Amino acid sequence: MRRKQRPIHRGARKELVSFLIQAATQWRLTGALLPSSAALCHAMTDPLARDSRAASRMILEVGAGTGVITEEIVPLMSPRDRLVVYELSERLGERLKYRAKGPEWSGRDIEIRVKPFPEGTEDEHYNFAVCSLPFNNFPAYMVHICLKTFSKILTPGGVLTFYEYCHLRNLRLQFANRKEFIRLRRIDRTVKSFLKTHHGQCRHVLINVPPAWVYTIRF
């Protein structure tokens, strides 16, 4: 599906303020300095944009934040598609619920879940998953649980995209104490093993603060 140039909605400034407040007060939930750039959002949703299936699709977004990537997903949805969005922050989750009921996202089947992922996904299956979770801020076992869940709930041929900031984990390792060093090394091994097992592909997105690697995995 060809992308349409998305106009800047009136609440864009309010969304940025909400993100900055969240980043300043709950860094471990956001793990970002600024909202994702348009280039990063496009890279994260590219598999969905290229999909031409007419059948209804189940789409999952995890760690939606203020909804900058959600804004890219919604125009790519057909009336028969369903989007499930996870956001742990109550502040941002309520904002997403408000937008889901408004005219901007009207005519789309969107469910906002303000709860930790993967709670509620036990018997669900998806064709696409977009993940923006800040894995570097998580306990290593949670990273393992999240990635293992994606491998279970994505259907054959399903696609997962997620991103990491370039070299950030290696940089943090240089200054970490022993406990933090062990945690980050475990995360690094978990992510690399997952990518190797599922033959993940990497795309470098320079136009973002900071630059990012976007990983795409087709199951």
Q: Of the candidates 184, 174, 87, 188, which has an alpha carbon nearest to the alpha carbon of residue 139?
A: 184
> What secondary structure does DSSP assign to 48-70, as a single string?
HHH----S--EEEEE--TTSTTH
Over the stretch 18-55, which tens digit does the pLDDT of each residue have? 444 444 444 454 445 668 899 999 999 999 999 987 78
For residue 213, tell me if it sits in a domain: yes
Average pLDDT score over the chain: 88
Residue 4: which pLDDT band, with cuts at 50, 70 and 90?
A: low
Over the stretch 96-134, which tens digit does the pLDDT of each residue have? 999 999 998 988 999 999 999 999 999 999 999 999 999
Give residue 36's pLDDT: 87
Kind and range of the H or E element at 128?
A: strand 126-131
Average pLDDT over residues 186-203: 97
CATH at residue 121: 3.40.50.150
Residue 146: which pLDDT band, with cuts at 50, 70 and 90?
A: very high
Give residue 16's pLDDT: 43
Residue 59: which pLDDT band, with cuts at 50, 70 and 90?
A: very high
For residue 70, tell me if it sits in a domain: yes
For residue 2, tell me if it sits in a domain: no
Give residue 6's pLDDT: 53
State CA 110 to chain mean position distance. 16
For residue 22, tell me if it sits in a domain: no
Give residue 135's pLDDT: 96
pLDDT at residue 9 is higher than 80 = no
For residue 12, tell me if it sits in a domain: no
For the chain, what is the domain count?
1
For residue 102, tell me if it sits in a domain: yes
Cis peptide before 156 (omega within 30 of 0): no
Give residue 14's pLDDT: 52
155 vs 31, higher pLDDT: 155
For residue 92, tell me if it sits in a domain: yes
Residue 3: which pLDDT band, with cuts at 50, 70 and 90?
A: low
Average pLDDT over residues 89-95: 94
pLDDT at residue 60 is higher than 80 = yes
pTM of the model: 0.85
pLDDT at residue 196 is higher than 50 = yes
Tokens 């293992």 correspond to: 148
Q: Of the candidates 192, 188, 191, 216, which has an alpha carbon nearest to the alpha carbon of residue 204?
A: 216
Domain that holds residue 39: 31-218
For residue 23, tell me if it sits in a domain: no
